[in-house]
Each structure stands twice: as C-alpha cells, then as structure tokens.
Amino acid sequence: METKKNNIEEVITKAIKKIGGKKENELCKYLPMKSGGYMHHFTLRKMKYKQPSELSSIIERFVTNSDKPTIIAPKQRAARGSRKRRDHLNFTRMQLERMLNIARLAGDKEIITILSPKKSLATCKRELIQSIRHNKIEQELWNSYTETVQAHQMAASMEATSAAQN
C-alpha cells in the first residue's frame, strides 16, 4: 500500500512540474472525465487515496506521456437562474393595471380579485365609506372588504385556538 502511495505522489509531482504548476489541484484541468469537462479537485483527492493506480494511469496518459498536455474545457452547466420557477410571472404595475381593466371590461370577478392589490382593513373601510358617500356601488370593493374581514377573523380564531391549547 505504501508503494502505491509513494508511486502516486511521484506521478503527481512529475505531472505538476510538466504543466508548470505549484499545487496538485492545478492538474485537474488537464484530466478529462467521462461525464464531460475536467476532473473536480475533490475527485482527484478521493481517487488519490481510494484508486491510486487508476489516477496514476489517467495522469500518465493525459499529462506525463502527452507531448503537449491540453487544458480541458469545463463541463457545460445550467445558466444561473435557470432553476428559477418559470410559472411565476412578474408584471409591472402598468401591465397589472391594464390586465385589471381588461378583466373589469370582461366582467371576470375571479381574475379581478386575483389581480387586485391586497388592502388593509382600514383602507378597505375608508374606500368603502367614500364610495357610499359618492353614491357609487363597487362590488369589487365590497368583495375586498369581506375577504379582508374574513382573513382577520380567521387569524383571530387561530390565535385564540393556539392560546387555549397552551
């Protein structure tokens, strides 16, 4: 076992000198992987102790016995942000207003409630009172008010339930 360790150390040292490097991690860029790209430095370290004969043959093949060792191109990876959810759409305020107006013209109440900005209970009350003073009936405003009241009642009942359990 000691001879294998000494042998791999010699092979690594020769290869580092040949590429003009200082650390063994610099060897990684010259060692191709079957999955594409070059060897990761963790893989190099793992192979050094668990598969020294295989690592030494790879180093000898691609670095030591090669006339001009070539740097392997890195493995193609997914672009940054590619793992973000695609089904979540971000709209500007103007776009939301336009869609809300289209929904109002179409009379689609469900879409109107989804696209309408969520308001506090105080704001809903204030706007509802103003609409009553101006003799305007806005179903959307009333729906918003009732949803907000229900949300507050639900939160209060959950709070009371958790307080009773403790």
pLDDT in tens, 118-165: 778 888 889 889 998 999 888 878 877 888 888 778 878 877 887 777
Res 116: pLDDT: 73
Asked whether residue 41 is assigned to any structural domain, the reply reads yes
Contact 42, 1 (CB under 8 A): no
Burial zone of 51 (CB within 10 Å; 0-12 exposed, 13-18 middle, 19+ buried): middle
The verdict on residue 76 lying in a domain is no
Confidence class for position 30, pLDDT limits 50, 70, 90: very high
pTM over 0.75: no
In a domain, 83, yes or no: no
Res. 35 pLDDT band, cuts 50 70 90: confident
Q: Do 103 and 41 share a domain, yes or no? A: no
For position 140, what pLDDT does the model report? 75
Going from the C-alpha of 93 to that of each of 26, 77, 98, 116, the distances in angstroms are 51, 34, 9, 11
Pair (157, 100) in one structural domain: yes
**Could you tell me the maximum CA-CA distance found in the chain, to the nearest angstrom?**
95
What domain range is 15 assigned to? Answer: 2-64
157 and 114 within one domain: yes
